[in-house]
Amino acid sequence: RGKRAFIAGVADDNGYGWAIAKSLAEAGAEILVGTWVPALNIFESSLRRGKFDESRKLQDGSLMKITKVYPLDAVYDSPEDVPEDVKANKRYAGASNWTVQEVVESVKNDFGTIDILVHSLANGPEVSKLLSETSRKGYLAAISASSYSYISLLKHFLPIMNQGGSSLSLTYIASERIIPGYGGGMSSAKAALESDTRVLAFEAGRKKRIRVNTISAGPLGSRAAKAIGFIDMMIDYSFTNAPLQKELHAEEVGNTAAFLASPLASAITGSVIYVDNGLNAMGVGV
Ligand code: NAI
């Protein structure tokens, strides 16, 4: 039987989540995705209308199949957590069962189990503010959407993950080095995510021999990154200063994810794996 993957954080064909879905599909996995509720309609209609067909092409010429798209808002664990104004919001009211617990229940009813969990989402409402000027609310929102969302997904999916499965997330070097511009507590959120990767690797490993890793990816002009505003500069900086002076392709992150999810990586867990043309290894820019 092929493996089944759930990828949280796919809403277009530009980001790392999409590239990971493609690489996993290329390797024979069945693909389920979790799409942020406010982005659901446009993603599904674009899929239906064939807008992504060019980027769905696999090496054998067939189109990647997304077996099911689940609406998801990973800042809410269960319906009791959803505030009234969100419930009443037109975009949210039009979808159902999108809290983490409900999504996992739906996946369980639809498919029984999964083998691979991917967390490819982040959000920090105050990302453009300096850390020293970030509000408590903004900081906690960044941690909630970008770090706890992973704990929640893994916590709820673990009971339906097959023994020997694999889980991974995406992180950024701003967790350990100063990257001015990555503000609002997003650097803190990535530091938490990396630390949690180690502890979760222990817990999920002992419970079900599930591996937990995170990919520290280089800069990509995704929708989320463009919203931060300094992505073109980071891409140029990387091109100039990294050991490998080449464009970083989302596919390279996707392929690393497929490797980490495969038996080829059977002894790798609790790791931060850099896929950044080597930029992390530099001490100075030259
Ligand atoms: P993206 O825009 O493709 O992915 C982010 C996704 O998160 C979007 O689909 C968005 O709808 C979703 N999302 C936001 N809040 C959500 C919520 N509450 N519930 C469910 N989904 C939610 O952008 P990208 O850049 O590919 O991001 C994927 C991951 O890669 C993130 O963790 C990001 O921090 C990480 N990353 C990105 C880098 C970059 O330069 N683009 C560099 C290193 C890491």
What value of ipTM does the predicted structure carry? 0.99
| Residue 281 identity (one-letter amino acid) | A
- CA nearest ligand 1 atom 16, residue: 36
For 173-182, what is the mean pLDDT? 97
- CA nearest ligand 1 atom 40, residue: 219
| CA 16 to ligand 1 centroid distance, Å | 7
Please name the residues in contact with 36: beta carbons below 8 A apart, sequence gap of 6 or more.
Answer: 9, 11, 72, 73, 74, 121
* pLDDT at residue 161, rounded to an integer: 98
Q: Taking 80 as the threshold, does the pLDDT of residue 204 lie above it? A: yes
For 261-280, what is the mean pLDDT? 98
End-to-end distance of the chain based on CA atoms, in angstroms? 49
Of the candidates 70, 76, 148, 182, the residue annotated as catalytic is 182
Q: Is 20 in the pocket of ligand 1 (CB under 6 A)?
A: no
User: The whole model's pTM is what?
Assistant: 0.98
* pLDDT at residue 132, rounded to an integer: 98
Whether residue 122 contacts residue 189, with contact meaning beta carbons closer than 8 Å, is answered with yes
Length of the chain: 286
Q: Taking 90 as the threshold, does the pLDDT of residue 78 lie above it? A: yes
| Residue 167: closest CA among 109, 226, 114 | 114
Q: Is 223 in the pocket of ligand 1 (CB under 6 A)?
A: yes
Question: Residue 151's CB: how many other CB atoms inside 10 A?
Answer: 17
Q: Is 11 in the pocket of ligand 1 (CB under 6 A)?
A: yes
**Where does residue 60 rank: exposed (0-12), middle (13-18), buried (19+ CB within 10 A)?**
exposed
Q: Is 24 in the pocket of ligand 1 (CB under 6 A)?
A: no
Per-residue confidence band for 101, with pLDDT thresholds at 50, 70 and 90: very high
Per-residue confidence band for 267, with pLDDT thresholds at 50, 70 and 90: very high
pLDDT in tens, 12-44: 999 999 999 999 999 999 999 999 999 999 999
Q: Is 211 left (phi over 0), alpha (psi -120 to 50) or beta?
A: beta
Total H helices, total E strands in the chain? 12, 7
User: In this prediction, what percent of the chain has a pLDDT beyond 70?
Assistant: 100
| CA 210 to ligand 1 centroid distance, Å | 23
Q: Taking 90 as the threshold, does the pLDDT of residue 60 lie above it? A: yes
Question: What CA–CA distance (Å, rounded) separates 186 from 198?
Answer: 19
Per-residue confidence band for 201, with pLDDT thresholds at 50, 70 and 90: very high
pLDDT in tens, 105-162: 999 999 999 999 999 999 999 999 999 999 999 999 999 999 999 999 999 999 999 9
Question: What CA–CA distance (Å, rounded) separates 183 from 128?
Answer: 6
For the chain, what percentages of helix, strand and coil (3-state, to nearest 5) are there?
Answer: 50, 15, 35
For the chain, how big is the Rg over CA atoms in Å?
A: 18
* pLDDT at residue 156, rounded to an integer: 98
Q: Taking 90 as the threshold, does the pLDDT of residue 285 lie above it? A: no
Would you give the DSSP letter of residue 28? T
Q: Is 52 in the pocket of ligand 1 (CB under 6 A)?
A: no
Atom of ligand 1 nearest to the CA of 186: 34
Q: Taking 80 as the threshold, does the pLDDT of residue 1 lie above it? A: no
**Is 182 annotated in the active site?**
yes
Whether residue 130 contacts residue 188, with contact meaning beta carbons closer than 8 Å, is answered with no
| CA 8 to ligand 1 centroid distance, Å | 9
| CA 46 to ligand 1 centroid distance, Å | 19
For 59-73, what is the mean pLDDT? 97
Chain centroid to CA 194: 13
Whether residue 211 contacts residue 166, with contact meaning beta carbons closer than 8 Å, is answered with yes
Probe residue for ligand 1, chosen from 121, 140, 153 as the CB with the greatest number of ligand atoms within 8 Å: 121
User: Over the chain, what is the mean pLDDT?
Assistant: 97
| Residue 37: closest CA among 123, 109, 157, 151 | 123
